[in-house]
């Protein structure tokens, strides 16, 4: 009897939910806004699907409807990746400790 690969993916998914649960509870509340912007950036890893879709087939096919949707998704995801990581970086750079100037 063979196990469907879907079950493996489901296992990864469920375990990742638990990892996410514990990791996110340990995030300090003062960093909740950067948390949102960075999760936003990493969820744009959906770009890998967009790349596969856009480059499918040979070069004559890149103007097929399916490929065009892939390219559109690449633009959207790229905005998010660059925007998300950079704005997170900008925010995190502002969090400073008390200066010791006594």
Residues 10-49 that bind another protein (CB under 8 A): 12-14, 16-17, 19-21, 23-49
Q: Which is nearer to another protein, 1 or 55 (CB)?
A: 55
Q: Which is nearer to another protein, 3 or 17 (CB)?
A: 17
Q: Which of 90, 91, 88, 71 is nearest to 80 (CA)?
A: 88
Q: Does 1 bind another protein (CB under 8 A)?
A: no
**Spatial separation of the C-alpha atoms in residues 9 and 50, rounded to whole Å:** 20
Min. distance of Cβ 12 from another protein in angstroms?
5
The tokens describing 60, both together, are 């004559």
Q: Which of 43, 44, 28 is nearest to 92 (CA)?
A: 28
Scanning residues 43 to 102, which ones bind another protein (CB under 8 A)? 43-57, 59, 62, 64-67, 69-99
**Spatial separation of the C-alpha atoms in residues 55 and 53, rounded to whole Å:** 6
Q: Which is nearer to another protein, 3 or 94 (CB)?
A: 94
């Amino acid at each position: 009897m063979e196990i469907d690969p879907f079950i493996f993916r489901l296992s990864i998914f469920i375990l990742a939910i638990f990892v996410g649960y514990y990791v996110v509870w340990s995030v300090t509340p003062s960093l909740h806004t950067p948390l949102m912007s960075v999760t936003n950036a990493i969820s744009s890893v959906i770009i890998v699907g967009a790349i596969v879709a856009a480059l499918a087939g040979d070069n004559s096919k890149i103007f097929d409807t399916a490929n065009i949707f892939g390219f559109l998704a690449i633009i959207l995801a790229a905005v998010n990746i660059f925007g998300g990581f950079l704005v997170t970086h900008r925010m995190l750079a502002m969090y400073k400790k008390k200066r010791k100037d006594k």
